Structure formats: C-alpha cells, structure tokens
A = this chain, B = another copy of it.
C-alpha cells in the first residue's frame, strides 16, 4: 500500500487526534492543512518556500492539469512531483468538483460527465475511469475518487440520487485504479446536509473499502453550525484507523471545529486566494491591507507573527505594493497567510498533544473573532 496511517494520540477532551501519515514522499503529521497548487504551483510561491513555511503536503487539481498542460505531458516529464519541483507528498482531487461547477457547460450521465472547457469551449468527457487514468498519470501520493459535490441548498431527492451515483462511481474508481503501491485512492462520503444520506454514503464507501476517507459536500455555503452538525454525525461513521479528510476547509474557525470533531486533513484555496486580494489573517482577525488607514502604518501585518513578511516589511510598504499592483505584494501576503495557517495547525497539534485544544480554541477566538 502507498500509505500507512497511525493514530499517535487521541485527545482526552474531544474527538481530535494526532496522527502520522506515511506516504511515498515522506511523513505527514496530522491534523494537517494542505495548501493548494491548482495548476502545479502554489500561486506566487516556489516549492521550497512552501515547504519552509511548514507545508507537509500540497494539493493539485486534476481538472486544471488535464486541460493545461495535459496529464500526458506531465507523465512524460516524470510525473507531477518532478514537473513542479515538489518532492513532498501530493494529493490530487478527482476533477469532479471543478467539472460539476461548470453549470451549463456540463451534462451528467451514469457513465460520467461531458463538459466544455472553460478556456476554449472544447468538448471533453470525464468518467470515474478517466479521472483515475489522469490521476495515475499525474502520480500524486493520494488520489481521490470521482464524485459529485452537491451544492447548498439541494433537494433531498437530488442529494440522494447524486450520492448513490457517487457510490457507484467510487466502486468503478477502485476497480480501475491499479497503482496501489504508489498511489492511495481515497473514497468520498457525500449526502448533502441529510443525516440518513450521509449514513448511507458512509456505509457504501466503507463497504467498497479505501485506505482513507474524505467528507465532501461541506463548506459549500452552509452555515458553520450546520457543517459542525454534519461532522458530528458523519465522522464517527468512519473507521478510526484511517485518515479522515474534510475537503475544501481552510479558515481558522472551520479548521478548529473540524479537528475537534476528528478530522485529520483539510485543504482550501482560501489563505492563498485572499492574500492575492490583500486580505491577511492576523492574530487580531482579518484585515485588508489595501485599506487607506494603513497608508502610514509602519508596523508589520501582524505584530505577533515572525514570518519573513512580518519581520521585514511594514503595512505601509505592502499596501503600496498592492496599490501599484506589484507581484511582490502577492508574494508577501501569501507568505504571511500560509505561515499563519500552517503555524496555526502546528499549534493545534501541540495543543492536542497537551490536551488543551479547547482552551487554545477559546483563546484564539477571543482575539481573532469567532466567525471568520
């Protein structure tokens, strides 16, 4: 098997746990946040910088890489790790999320999804088998079953039909995948915000059997409390000895709430995307550095932060860079946000180790604000 997972410690105060995930490209300490490198690059950053900021594993996107530069080219280059110069673990999504997000541009059948490229309108077809074929070519350490991530809100009927198809597709993905020694295939639990559908989905996916399980279809616009509820009844359905991955979550409060409910892995474009827009996370909450009030503010983005950006640059300088649209603006803000969120995860792991995660969460919320 490509991966081995072991729970190192279970929290005494919550369902949180510390784990160790061995992959062909190194060991990942969980709970872990995975920065997103959509098109074979974590935007604005070099791989060395991403690693030095504390990233242990990154995520890349099957849909985007399939279209440009093409999975065959990446295979010819020696795989995604070599192509993008990242020697650590990689997880690729299945492309399902992006394809389903295309709206009118896609048509779903039992066989798969026909869609038109958002770039040039060209016609494509991705089936569960095709998704695995692409992900096999990319060569990530962890790959994902091809699923449908239902939006919020969605009718019970649609969520049910979609979840059942996702289960059938999961089986087809498992049957097609033939590179288990190098790539672990994770199954995905869907079912919208409906408890019985989540239960059915978890049962289906676990019956098929995977080395890891993801929870999809959350953080899609629902209130945070609703996400917490779904996690409350879904996570306990998953095997304790396998990694549990909550897809698409990446704000501090969502990460706290997910980890406390037993989640081991999470990913989100949020920290890097908002950075390029000038929004940075600080110990006192979010600020947008483009705001005029920072014009003559010569203090760092976050006085409590010791990242490269905060040690060397002022808010006034970074605001200036955003104001004149300099590339360094995106770099400095991304550096800070990635450091912030990766450091937060490190602190969370430390707090689990010392059985004070709930206390740490309270402290954090008090300064940062509850809802992000």
Contact = CB atoms under 8 A, between A and B. Distances in A.
A361 to B, nearest CB: 34
Interface in A65-111: 68-69, 73, 76-78, 83-85
Given A317-B83, A331-B46, A324 B39 contact: yes
A43 B84 CA distance: 22
Contacts of A131: none
B317 A84 contact: yes
Interface string A315-348: 0110111011011101100000000000000000
Count copies of this chain in the complex.
2
A336 to B, nearest CB: 13
A324 B68 contact: yes
Contacts of A44: 327-328, 331
A295 B328 contact: no
Nearest to A308: B46
Q: Which 8 A-B pairs have the closest CB atoms?
A: A69-B320, A44-B327, A85-B312, A41-B328, A39-B324, A41-B326, A68-B324, A83-B317
A167 interface: no
A358 interface: no
A322 to B, nearest CB: 11
Interface in A1-59: 39-41, 43-46
Nearest to A320: B69
Given A317-B83, A320-B69, A39 B326 contact: yes
Contact of A331 (B296, B324, B327): B327
Contacts of A295: 69, 73
Interface residues on chain A, size class = 35 or more
Interface string A268-298: 0000000000000000000000000001101
B317 A77 contact: yes
A62 interface: no
A161 to B, nearest CB: 35
A76 B314 CA distance: 12
A233 interface: no
B326 A83 contact: no
Given A77-B298, A78-B298, 5 more contacts: A39-B324, A41-B321, A43-B327, A64-B324, A77-B316
Contact of A313 (B73, B76, B85, B326): B85
